[in-house]
Amino acid sequence: MSRKILVLFMLLLSSLLIFATQFSRNIEEKITILRDGTAEVVRTEYIPSSDLAKIFIEYFENMKKSREIFANYLYEVSKEYYFIYGTTPKFSSSDVKFEENSKGFTLTVKMKIPGIVRKDGNVLILSRKNFSDEKLLPKYFEEQIDGKIFESAFLQSEKNYLVTKRLTTIILPENSKIEDLKPIYAKKFDEKWFVDMGGGTTYKAHIEKIEKGVIIEEEIRTSASTPKNLLDEKNNIETLNNLRDYTAFQLLFTNEKMEEKLSQPVDHKIKNDFSGSWSFSVSSGELLSYTFTYGVINVTPKITVTLSFSASLLWEHQWVRTGWFSWSYKFKRFESTITFSPSLTPSITVQSGGSVSKEWSKNLFSKGKTVTFYVSCVPVILYMQAKLDAEAEASISASIGFTAAATFGLNTSLSMKYQNGWSAPLSYNIHYSGVSFTASAKANASAEGRLPFTLAAYVYYVAGPYVKLTPWIKGETNASVGNANQVSYSITGGIKAEGGVAMAGWLKNLCGNIPSFSYQFFDWNRTLASGTKTF
């Protein structure tokens, strides 16, 4: 019996391993305090070979080529240390080294942090998370929440976890004597901390005195499941207070050989909420076409495209002060927008040697662009995609050839917004010109060409806004009108726009806990021309 139980247990364990993935990130930092109160920091990150390591590799390979990406990295890393130590580190691109091999990815950053130690009489004080301005505390919370939003989006499944282990060693100058460790916000000092966001996302840490300073060991688990304690109005004050207290302390020490004049802390400007905008030039006057053939008929939908688009994401957090260094939290709003102003010239050409009725479809191209950026020390991949399809249908009663064409111009900004529910603010303007029609015979015929574009911007290829834009044109002839060398015709056309936003991770949980939001923005159509054609 015991053997059967063991076999069942192993099968169960194997199934869990198959369907759940744990990603790992290890950070070691050695902070050496100099006699002028400056700190020299060596920060080493190691990510074992995995999809997470690939994200880091792509970001830092791109950073080699872009000053803008390095500036983004500098800002985000500096912000993290500013929240913890109240001063801004200094480093350059030459201080950032990374390597990859079959085992994983290793990143090493060397930096200096001025003013990390201050004097109070004969006592020297190193503080963690001692916010000089109370309004900085919600910004620290936002940094943590924003990081979890992107980490949980990367995880995709609620079964997956990211475990970040961080070991911080603070080395005091030689001949230093630790006098005390004091809490900053809590009533008494505790060598252990724990924060439970709910849904499996937790922070835990402990501190230990060593001969030359202290060691802080942390383990942070990120889950894509709902952070119930953060979202619960009754629990989130306590949860945020625990996050406030997490690894917050003052290290008091004495050292007679410290310099009389210590280096001064450097301020860091903190941006409001998360927002980002990215653009992609898809096509500049490119003619795209495909000929569908069926028996005696050839149908060719064509389109000349000039198109670029931009995508933006933003969200806002809402804070209410509930007491001394105490706040409650509510997610205020999320908005995603795709903006574009294309010029589109669709046309449909038919050459038929007899009666036929048929529908076709074909992908013409799929183009993509990858954008990388850092948020709260988390590398993010944004994939911008443009896909064009050709669709056609024809119903022909006899031999005929005809072509219908027009040019459409469109200015639009399509937004999906969540604020106590979903909405889709809309602004668009469509105009057309250059309508033309030719025919070669007197026959009843109908042919329609549709050329749907799909534009998308997906974070980690899974979450973000998308729009399907379908320009179409239809030509029809009527043999019962006109004399023997005339045919009646009409050209109709239009543009249909629909889209939405795919959600994942914490952002899905914050926005009504739905996996996606979809919406039909508009379905514009007109009779572009009609009359009698002589051939």
356: pLDDT confidence band, cut at 50, 70 and 90?
Answer: confident
Same domain, 294 and 226: no
Query: 226 exposed, middle or buried (CB, 10 Å; 0-12, 13-18, 19+)?
Result: buried
In a domain, 318, yes or no: yes
Identify the pLDDT of residue 273.
85
Identify the pLDDT of residue 17.
46
Question: Which of 254, 269, 290 corresponds to the end of one domain?
Answer: 254
CA-based nearest residue to 303, from 362, 369, 357, 384: 362
Mean pLDDT of all residues in 247-251: 97
Q: Which two tokens stand for residue 226?
A: 């709902």
Question: Which of 254, 269, 298 corresponds to the end of one domain?
Answer: 254
Residue 404 has pLDDT above 80, yes or no: yes
3-state helix, strand, coil in the chain (%, to 5): 20, 60, 25
18: pLDDT confidence band, cut at 50, 70 and 90?
Answer: low
**Phi–psi pair at 76, nearest 5 degrees:** -70, -40
Evaluate whether 502 touches 458 at the Cβ level (below 8 Å): yes
Same domain, 344 and 449: yes
Q: What is the CA angle 460-462-467, rounded to 5?
A: 115
Evaluate whether 471 touches 497 at the Cβ level (below 8 Å): no
Same domain, 399 and 364: yes
Evaluate whether 434 touches 345 at the Cβ level (below 8 Å): yes
Dist CA 10 CA 214 (whole Å): 41
Identify the pLDDT of residue 56.
97
Q: On the CB side of 162, how many CA atoms lie within 13 Å of its CA? A: 26
Residue 5 has pLDDT above 60, yes or no: no
Distance, CA of 385 to chain centre: 14
- Using the structure block, give the residue that is written with the tokens 């989006």: 153
Same domain, 247 and 283: no
Dist CA 406 CA 449 (whole Å): 12
Q: Mean pLDDT across the chain, nearest whole number? A: 92
For 141-157, what is each residue's pLDDT tens digit? Answer: 999 999 999 999 999 88
Question: Which of 196, 222, 254 corresponds to the end of one domain?
Answer: 254
What pTM, to 2 d.p., does this model score?
0.89
For 178-229, what is each residue's pLDDT tens digit? Answer: 999 999 998 899 999 999 999 999 999 999 999 999 999 999 999 999 999 9
Q: Which two tokens stand for residue 317?
A: 């957090």
Identify the pLDDT of residue 15.
47
In a domain, 97, yes or no: yes
In a domain, 10, yes or no: no
453: pLDDT confidence band, cut at 50, 70 and 90?
Answer: very high
Same domain, 245 and 299: no
Residue 11 has pLDDT above 60, yes or no: no
Mean pLDDT of all residues in 158-163: 95
Identify the pLDDT of residue 405.
95
Dist CA 201 CA 203 (whole Å): 7
Q: Is 103 left (phi over 0), alpha (psi -120 to 50) or beta?
A: alpha
Identify the pLDDT of residue 398.
86
In a domain, 204, yes or no: yes
CA-based nearest residue to 251, from 124, 80, 147, 139: 124
Mean pLDDT of all residues in 103-111: 97
Q: Is 340 left (phi over 0), alpha (psi -120 to 50) or beta?
A: beta
Give how many domains the chain has, as a whole number: 2
Residue 7 has pLDDT above 60, yes or no: no
Q: What is the CA angle 372-377-383, rounded to 5?
A: 20
Residue 494 has pLDDT above 80, yes or no: yes
In a domain, 269, yes or no: no
Residue 342 has pLDDT above 60, yes or no: yes
Residue 12 has pLDDT above 80, yes or no: no
Same domain, 219 and 306: no
Same domain, 232 and 303: no
Same domain, 208 and 340: no
Please state, in angstroms and as integers, the Cα–Cα distance from residue 176 to each residue in 35, 37, 211, 517, following that order: 10, 13, 10, 59
Please state, in angstroms and as integers, the Cα–Cα distance from residue 475 to each residue in 51, 153, 396, following that order: 50, 46, 11
Same domain, 324 and 230: no
Residue 393 has pLDDT above 60, yes or no: yes
Same domain, 186 and 300: no
Q: What range does the domain containing 97 cover?
A: 23-254
Identify the pLDDT of residue 282.
92
Same domain, 365 and 475: yes
Question: Which residues of 116-233 form beta strands (DSSP E)?
Answer: 117-120, 123-128, 161-171, 177-183, 192-198, 201-210, 213-223
Residue 532 has pLDDT above 80, yes or no: yes
Dist CA 519 CA 197 (whole Å): 32
In a domain, 262, yes or no: no
CA-based nearest residue to 511, from 336, 334, 312: 334
Please state, in angstroms and as integers, the Cα–Cα distance from residue 415 to each residue in 97, 262, 275, 336, 518, following that order: 40, 51, 14, 6, 11
3: pLDDT confidence band, cut at 50, 70 and 90?
Answer: low
User: By percentage, how much of the chain surpasses pLDDT 70?
Assistant: 96
Identify the pLDDT of residue 109.
98
CA-based nearest residue to 160, from 12, 15, 19, 50: 19
Same domain, 225 and 95: yes
Evaluate whether 161 touches 221 at the Cβ level (below 8 Å): yes
User: By percentage, how much of the chain surpasses pLDDT 90?
Assistant: 83
Please state, in angstroms and as integers, the Cα–Cα distance from residue 275 to each residue in 383, 430, 492, following that order: 16, 29, 41
Mean pLDDT of all residues in 368-394: 94
Dist CA 342 CA 363 (whole Å): 19
Q: Which two tokens stand for residue 456?
A: 């998308």
In a domain, 17, yes or no: no
Distance, CA of 211 to chain centre: 44
Dist CA 331 CA 318 (whole Å): 6
Evaluate whether 454 touches 385 at the Cβ level (below 8 Å): yes
In a domain, 480, yes or no: yes
